[in-house]
Structure formats: C-alpha cells, structure tokens
A and B are shown apart, each in its own frame.
Chain A
Amino acid sequence: MAVDLDTTSVRALNESLHRITPSSNERHWRIVNPRGKHAIAAGLTQPIDVEIDGHVGYYCAGMNQNARITVRGQAGKGLGENIMSGEIRVTGNVSECAGASGHGGLIVIEGDAAGRCGISMKGVDIVVKGSVGHMSAFMAQAGRLVVCGDADHSLGDSIYEAALYVRGSVGSLGADCVEKDMDATEIEALGQLLKDAGVDASAREFRRYGSARKLYNFHIDHADAY
C-alpha cells in the first residue's frame, strides 16, 4: 500500500492503519510526502511494516504496538512516545523526548537525539547511534538507553531502575545517577541489543550508569540533592 500525504489526510491514513486486523493482507505500507505532519502512524496495533519517506512532525508512531515503523528522514518531538512494543527506526536525527515513557519495544535512532531522550522511560530499549541532549533518561524507570556518541549534561537525573550505556563522554550525571560496573552478563546483553538494533559497536566500549537509589525514600540529609 502506498499513501501520499499530499492527497490523503493523516486522519484518513491512521484510520486505515487502525482498521488492519491480524488477517488483513495489507502488511506493508509506504507513506510519501509526510512533510513534517504530526501523529503519523500513531496508535498502531498490528505487526505490519510502515515506511515513511521524508521528515515527520511530533509524536510519529506514538504508543506503537507491534508495528515496525521506519522513518527515512528526521523526526519531531515525542517520537514513539509511550511505545509498548514493536520497533521504530529513524535514519536521521530526532527532536526532544524521543521514546518518552515508552513501556517496551525498540527505538533505533541512527542520527542524534535532542534533549530528554528516554524521559520517564518504563521498559523501552532506545539505541542512539549518535549523541543525546541534556536531561536524557530523566526519571527513567525501566528499560535501556544506549548512546554510541556522547550524552549532554544531567544524564539520568532522578533515575529509577533503567540502565544507561554511553560510549562517549557524559556532560554530567544528574541527581542520584552513578556509574556502575559492567560484568560479563551485562556486556553480553548489551552486545545482543546492539546487534538487534543493527548497530556495529562493541559492547565493551560502553560505560553503564544507573540509580544510586539514595533518593528512593526521602531522607532529610539528602535534601540538597534535589
């Protein structure tokens, strides 16, 4: 199926995508002329392939379930926000809050991601080939954020149980975020994730960061950490 967003509205496109059932024959969709429109392919539920040729606006592939969505271009704010499962891949750069509160699935960003990448993430795996902006993985609860380049300041501020891996430099760590050891199991699991994401990098080159768990229960003597 090919859909031209110059002649079809996003609303009509999304309605068609939502009507797909497990037995539908239309399993491969190609979308052209997205021209930065918002909420393209948001709320999909079926394991279909969607390729978008061009740049997308906010909330592309929002709350995705099962679908495999590829954006050949750049993506605006909130790419794949609250993704539950499936896979989203962007060949270019993405704006802020990519994968925000994502519960599962995989997001691969082949370029750079702006600030707050993986904010409030709850189980999603996000792999960024380039670098991420400030405050990435803010309040990250679960899942993994892998950064092959650098991370800007306040990485993992107020982090819970998510795991962060950075190959390059870290501007600074946020409140309660500390460097952790990488043991053999960690390296193996990260290697597998990089492989799944189709990223050619050695897991050994990454450092791991996570929660010091000092802010889990309020303690008067940690008041200045907030």
Chain B
Amino acid sequence: MPTKAVPRKQAAPAAAKAEAPLPFDARKLRPSHTFPEDIIAEIQRMADEGLYYIRGFGAKRKLPTFDDLVFLGASATRYPLEGYRERCATNVVLGDRFAKKPIELKTPITIAGMSFGALGSHAKEALGRAATAMGTTTTTGDGGMTQEERQSSKTLVYQVLPSRYGMNPDDLRKADAIEVVIGQGAKPGGGGMLLGQKITERVAKMRTLPVGIDQRSASRHPDWTGMDDLEIKINELREITDWEKPIYVKIGASRPQYDVPMCVKAGADVIVLDGMQGGTAATQDVFIEHVGIPTLPALKLAVEALKSMDMHRKVQLIVSGGIRTGADVAKAIAMGADAVSIGMGALIALGCNKPVHEEDYEALGTRPGFCHHCQTGRCPVGITTQRPELEARLDPERGARLVRNYLTALTLELQTVARANGKSHVLHLEPEDMAALTIEAAAMAGVPLAGTNWVPGRV
C-alpha cells in the first residue's frame, strides 16, 4: 500500500470562466446495456402486437464459429501437397452401413432441406440443377416432393417430417435417400411454420390444408415416440423401399452426446446434425436465438459420441448451420464431419440480401444485408416467395449457375486448405491440423488454444 498521500488535483483557477453547458451534448447520451435500442423497440412491438416475432434467416447473435479456429498448415515437420498438381480427392460415400445403394458425393457439400412453400419453385429448381452439376445432393422439405425438383436433381434426399405433408410412397421410392427429420438447428423441438400469406393454392393442395391459413406443423412424428419406435420406423421405411436407400436422421443441435448414439442404435446410415446457426424460413425469434447450441460444440459432441461407439466414418455425419466458406467446410471435416450441408449460404449465392430492388426491401421495413423477412412471402429477390412477379426475378438457369459457382469455389477452398495440410483426401483432415484462437473455441471444438497444448475441459 502506498503510504505517501497523493496530492489532490488543483481546482481550475476561478479566473477561467466556466462555459455555459451545451443545451445538448451527444457525448452524454448513455445507452443502457440492459435496454439497448433494439430491445426497447422489441418490447414496444410486443406491447403493440401481443405476439412473439416470427422471422426467417437464422441466428443473428454473436456465436462461437469456425472462424475461431485456424489450420496450422505444413512446414518443416509436415509436407504440403503441390497446390495445382497433386490430387486432393473430395469424394465421399454416404450410407454404406445398411443401404444397397449408397450415395457417392463428388464434393462433400450438400444442399440442405428446404421446402417448396418456404421457397418458390424457381429457387428449388436452381438448387437442384446446381447440385446435379456438382455431383452432390439436394433435399426436399416440409410439403413433399415437387416434380420440378425431382427432375432437376439427379440425387435427391426425401425428407420424412412430423407433418407428413405430401408424404407419398411413390416419391419415397423415387428418392435416392430418405431423411427422417427429428428437428432442425433453428428450432430444436419446434415444428415447421408457414404463414397464411405463403399458403397459395398449390402449396395448400400439396399439404392437404385450406388456402391462406397459418400452418404450424407438428413437432413430433405422428406414428412413433421415442427411439425404440424410431428403430422400428426406420425398418419400415427400409422394407417399403426394399433396403435400397440410405436412411438419414436429422437432429437439431441440443444434446448430440445422447441423440447421436440413439440415432446409431435406431439404425441410421447417416446422421445430419444442424447447429443453432441453421436457417429457417419462419420461426419465432426467441426460438432461433435462444434454443439449441452452436454448430461448433455440437459437432465435437457428435464426433466424440460416434468415436466412443466405434462408428465414426461408419455412420456418416453431415453437419450444417452457419457453413459459409471453404474454410468452414474444411474445419467441419477436420473436426470429424463426413460432409456439410448448406442452406442459407446457397440462398445468399442465389441473391438473398443482395443490394438490388432496394425499394422492396424497404417496403418490408429492412435493407439489403439485414433482411430476414422470408416469412412474409415477399422476398425481394424472388427466392422465398410464391408470387409469380417476384419469382420472375430469379431465373432458374442463372440461379443454378450462381450456386454452382459458389459450390465450386467452396470445393476449391477446401482442397487448398487440405493440400496445405498435406492431405490427398479432404477426409484426412483431422483436429490435430488446427488450433483455436479463443479459449471458448478451444473448449467447444476440443482443439488446443494456439500456442498451448491446452484444451479446456480435457484432463
């Protein structure tokens, strides 16, 4: 403790005349951390409407992401591969556990399930064509399979959802794989939602619902409860399709350490794990932002569970939720995923949040870069809409080109990173190739903090 008294600051000499206080001094505005402007606006919206906020897109809050990890690359102790000369393979086989006809992806980047209804037919077609050109898969969604998407997608995954809207055994047999959806990352524990403004006649007919009603899908499957039932259900789906097709089970990221072993036991060929950053066309904001865990820790827990059962790479793991770049893909694979799935990224490639038709964004009360208004059915760029005049803004052929280019760039980035780490196949990437930049990411991803060999939580 200092013993000497510190001399007090001298008061200003009385001669210096105090200036009159400014009538308004912006520096004195003190925002509340607890009640910032957006919270004030939300409280007042709730007071006006008495309802939760339903919106599209995905989690907007700051979450730990793959950006908090880096690859170490090769140096004196690891050899890199020649960037443009040596082969770095990207093919991945999905569903060879029980299915007679597994799926071979040329690139481990698939297109996530998005419904016709949430998306317009042009967007669905563009995604299907792009996936076909890239040798990867696309996925149906709540509401069943459209002829357009079956035709445009060479390899199509057919979702079996709690709502069973449009569920049809003919489509099941036409599919290349079947995905039993238990949940999605944006809302683990919540069913699909499509507001009345998007339930056009065609959408209503596919779902056997009246036109214009707010459609809230069930959150539990109608004919099974619990994982012992699911095992029997999966068996039924295999029986109906003569054991040909891989069966995926999709879960939202909540408790992957328990859910993944259950899915393995139930007989899944492939597990699709969707982190809380996963997109949605319409969900309560409170659900999007506050239920579920981020992709990073979910992936680690899932891989640990698979390894503990000696099922890693035997039951394949597809991870989704916030995958944007080739680096994200590489990091997900290095952490143990077999493939990734992309929803929002593909829509953004199609033009979501692009600064065009700005007046239409404004009419929705938003701006390019901030839009999350898929629930309105008035997508300014013609993706999440059923309105012909808006859909006309998205030419399926041009859209397919954009998504194809995006997937190509992602694959090239993935290979670049893999070669830099000396891998001749992207699946050879491993956690040892990475370091974490934050303590949080180190703990969540199970990767040592850069400059240390410390993985918080590991003894």
Binding site for B on A (CB under 8 A): 10-11, 14-15, 18, 38-39, 42-43, 45, 57-59, 62-63, 65, 77-78, 81-82, 84, 97, 100-101, 103, 116, 119-120, 122-123, 138-139, 141-142, 160-161, 216-218, 220, 223
Partner of A82, one of B51, B167, B208, B241: B167
Chain B nearest Cβ from A125, distance in angstroms: 14
B222 touches A42 (CB 8 A): no
Most B CB within 10 A of own CB, among A42, A116, A138 = A42
User: Beta-carbon contacts of B429-445 to A below 8 Å, as 1s and 0s?
Assistant: 00000000000000000
Within B80-102, which residues are at the interface with A (CB < 8 Å)?
none
Chain A nearest Cβ from B117, distance in angstroms: 15
Compute how far the CA of A127 lies from the CA of B295 in the bound complex, rounded to whole angstroms: 47
Compute how far the CA of A78 lies from the CA of B233 in the bound complex, rounded to whole angstroms: 9
Compute how far the CA of A65 lies from the CA of B173 in the bound complex, rounded to whole angstroms: 13
Most A CB within 10 A of own CB, among B50, B209, B236 = B236
Chain B nearest Cβ from A135, distance in angstroms: 11
B229 touches A63 (CB 8 A): no
Task: Given A103-B208, A217-B196, A220-B50, verify A42-B240 contact (CB < 8 Å).
Answer: yes
User: Beta-carbon contacts of B206-219 to A below 8 Å, as 1s and 0s?
Assistant: 01111011100010
Does B224 reach chain A (CB closer than 8 Å)?
A: yes
- Interface residues of B, CB < 8 Å — how many? 32
Task: Given A14-B242, A43-B169, A59-B236, verify A217-B214 contact (CB < 8 Å).
Answer: yes
Does B172 reach chain A (CB closer than 8 Å)?
A: yes
Residue numbers in B under 8 Å from A14 (CB-CB) = 239-240, 242
CB-based A-B contact count at 8 angstroms: 104
Within B159-184, which residues are at the interface with A (CB < 8 Å)?
163-164, 167-170, 172
Chain B nearest Cβ from A71, distance in angstroms: 16
User: Beta-carbon contacts of B139-169 to A below 8 Å, as 1s and 0s?
Assistant: 0000000000000000000000001100111
A-B contact pairs, 18 of them (CB 8 A): A42-B236, A42-B240, A43-B241, A58-B229, A58-B232, A59-B233, A63-B172, A65-B169, A78-B224, A82-B167, A84-B168, A101-B223, A120-B222, A139-B218, A160-B210, A161-B210, A216-B214, A217-B196
Task: Given A14-B242, A103-B168, verify A141-B209 contact (CB < 8 Å).
Answer: yes
Besides A58-B233, A103-B208, A217-B212, 12 more A-B contacts (Cβ < 8 Å) are A11-B239, A14-B239, A15-B242, A38-B235, A38-B236, A42-B240, A43-B240, A65-B170, A77-B229, A120-B163, A160-B210, A220-B51
A142 touches B208 (CB 8 A): yes
Residue numbers in A under 8 Å from B236 (CB-CB) = 38-39, 42, 58-59, 62, 78, 81
Compute how far the CA of A125 lies from the CA of B42 in the bound complex, rounded to whole angstroms: 47
In the complex formed, the residue of A with least CB distance to B191 is: A139
Compute how far the CA of A48 lies from the CA of B244 in the bound complex, rounded to whole angstroms: 24
Compute how far the CA of A14 lies from the CA of B239 in the bound complex, rounded to whole angstroms: 7
Compute how far the CA of A22 lies from the CA of B172 in the bound complex, rounded to whole angstroms: 20
Residue numbers in A under 8 Å from B224 (CB-CB) = 77-78, 97
Does B454 reach chain A (CB closer than 8 Å)?
A: no
Compute how far the CA of A103 lies from the CA of B167 in the bound complex, rounded to whole angstroms: 8
B223 touches A78 (CB 8 A): yes
In the complex formed, the residue of B with least CB distance to A218 is: B214
B239 touches A43 (CB 8 A): yes
Compute how far the CA of A11 lies from the CA of B167 in the bound complex, rounded to whole angstroms: 23
B240 touches A62 (CB 8 A): yes
Does B38 reach chain A (CB closer than 8 Å)?
A: no
Residue numbers in B under 8 Å from A11 (CB-CB) = 239, 243
A218 touches B168 (CB 8 A): no
Q: Which 7 A-B pairs have the closest CB atoms?
A: A43-B240, A101-B164, A78-B223, A63-B169, A100-B222, A100-B223, A216-B213
Chain B nearest Cβ from A149, distance in angstroms: 22
Residue numbers in A under 8 Å from B169 (CB-CB) = 43, 45, 63, 65, 82, 84
Chain B nearest Cβ from A61, distance in angstroms: 10
Compute how far the CA of A63 lies from the CA of B173 in the bound complex, rounded to whole angstroms: 11
Partner of B239, one of A42, A84, A218: A42
In the complex formed, the residue of A with least CB distance to B173 is: A43
Does B49 reach chain A (CB closer than 8 Å)?
A: yes
Residue numbers in A under 8 Å from B233 (CB-CB) = 58-59, 78
Chain A nearest Cβ from B198, distance in angstroms: 13
Residue numbers in B under 8 Å from A161 (CB-CB) = 210
Within B44-60, which residues are at the interface with A (CB < 8 Å)?
49-51
Compute how far the CA of A97 lies from the CA of B232 in the bound complex, rounded to whole angstroms: 14
Residue numbers in A under 8 Å from B168 (CB-CB) = 84, 103
Within B389-411, which residues are at the interface with A (CB < 8 Å)?
none
